[in-house]
Amino acid sequence: MRIGHYVAGVAGKPGYETNVSGHVQMPLRAMQLLKDAGHDIELVTTQIREDQSLPAFLPEGVPMHQVIDGRARSAKSIAAGDHRRGMRAGPLLEQVRQIKRVAKEREFDVLHFFGHNRTGHFAGALRRLGLRTPAVATVVALHLPERRSWLTKRLWKRADAIVCGAEHVQRQFDSALGVRAHVVRHGVVRDMRAELCGATPGPRRRVLFWRDPSEQNGADLALETFRRLAPEHPEISFDMAIRPYHNEVPGIEELARDRANVNVHRFPYPEGVTLPGLIAESICVLLPFRWMTIHPQLSIAETMTLETPVIATDIGSASDVIEAGESGLLVPPDDVDALTDATRRLIDDQDDARRMGERAAASVAESWNWDHYVEEIVSVYQRAIRGEAR
């Protein structure tokens, strides 16, 4: 089978080749597995600038086709985190034309789109605008409610198949849009254990927050938890491993100056500091999201692979990944008291934290892996080709 994979914005900033968004990591691993299974795989992506580099996960030898980006974005708006400026009519029509041409010339059996709501709309719109190749859309996260839902529902239903990675998203499609979505589970992409490079981690004497230091990721909640607990536990290191971010929550550096056991590690990390090493030396990791960019959230699953329990907000697919009290802890949204109490609980009972961490790693290995991905997604492709998957 010849399969085109459409992934917008696959390239990124140099130095971030292994530190890329989950909506890019996941399709690139899917491409590699399909290629290994004997399928002809090609990548269709938006234009790559000279100051960008390709991610380390890109399979070798895969043909790549670049098309114009119809979204209203620029390098400046992306750097500022402004991703939702709508579309530009002229470039969008040219993008449609280019994608249709690539699909026809390369004789794709299926064109598989990966992204969020607009990517699903785009797949349906292309079919309405004459794309003859069946269009399958994997929606990594569904954001509701939608504006102009009278139109978007028609576009969702015009795609030949909708795929998602978690039951939570499937339920959203069914209840809010009346659209059938196929659950095809996938696993983590970044192998944190391999990145340890055989190094033996030190004792678990940390509590860690890692992600962009944004309100969306709950960095302010983690920071307040650190502010409360650092004086109680001077023997514990409270660490933030963060990337440069355009709208960082205030007070991070100030708390690190005030408290000797609060540390900030900014990417790219100094020599001797790695993210897998920090996670492996942590009693627990705080990921109190207010909004998830992908389901399942890969940062939760990646952390769990290193036998480290996660304390996460009970939203979205978090409960699909974390069995509360067994493989981690879930707290209500925006509840810093609950987050602090949960963190204190694991610091005070580190035997329980170790038990949760062991169960966390086993749970991810058992339920969030790639063992059946190729078989299940190829089945979706075949049904889409026959017109049976809508």
Whether residue 212 is predicted with pLDDT greater than 60 in this model: the reply is yes
Q: How far apart are CA 279 and CA 305, in angstroms?
A: 10
- Residue range 255-281: mean pLDDT, rounded: 96
Whether residue 81 is predicted with pLDDT greater than 90 in this model: the reply is no
- Residue range 9-35: mean pLDDT, rounded: 92
Whether residue 74 is predicted with pLDDT greater than 70 in this model: the reply is no
Q: Identify the structural domains of the chain with CATH numbers, from first to last.
A: 2-186+370-385 (3.40.50.2000), 194-367 (3.40.50.2000)
Q: How far apart are CA 283 and CA 298, in angstroms?
A: 19
pLDDT of residue 79: 47
| Six token digits for residue 198 | 């055989």
pLDDT of residue 23: 87
More confident residue, 87 or 70: 70
Q: Decide: pTM greater than 0.85.
A: yes
Mean pLDDT of the chain: 94
**Least reliable range by pLDDT among 60-74, 104-118, 355-369:** 60-74
Q: How far apart are CA 43 and CA 59, in angstroms?
A: 10
Nearest to 22, CA basis, from 285, 311, 296, 277:
296
pLDDT of residue 86: 66
Burial of residue 153 (CB within 10 Å: 0-12, 13-18, 19+) is middle
- Residue range 35-40: mean pLDDT, rounded: 98
pLDDT of residue 85: 54
pLDDT digits (tens, 9 = 90+) for 150-205: 999 999 999 999 999 999 999 999 999 999 999 999 999 999 999 998 889 999 99
Q: 44 in helix, strand or coil?
A: strand
Whether residue 24 is predicted with pLDDT greater than 50 in this model: the reply is yes
Q: Own/partner pairs for 339-346, CB < 8 Å, 24+ apart?
A: 339/221, 339/222, 339/225, 339/286, 339/288, 339/311, 340/224, 340/225, 340/228, 340/229, 342/311, 343/207, 343/225, 343/229, 343/284, 343/286, 343/311, 344/229, 344/232, 346/283, 346/284, 346/309, 346/311
Nearest to 282, CA basis, from 242, 311, 249:
311
Q: 26 in helix, strand or coil?
A: helix
Q: How far apart are CA 98 and CA 104, in angstroms?
A: 10
- Residue range 79-101: mean pLDDT, rounded: 77
Whether residue 230 is predicted with pLDDT greater than 90 in this model: the reply is yes
Helix (H) or strand (E) holding 156: helix 149-158
- Residue range 206-217: mean pLDDT, rounded: 97
Whether residue 233 is predicted with pLDDT greater than 70 in this model: the reply is yes
* Cβ atoms of residues 304 and 279 within 8 Å: no
Q: How far apart are CA 355 and CA 249, in angstroms?
A: 33
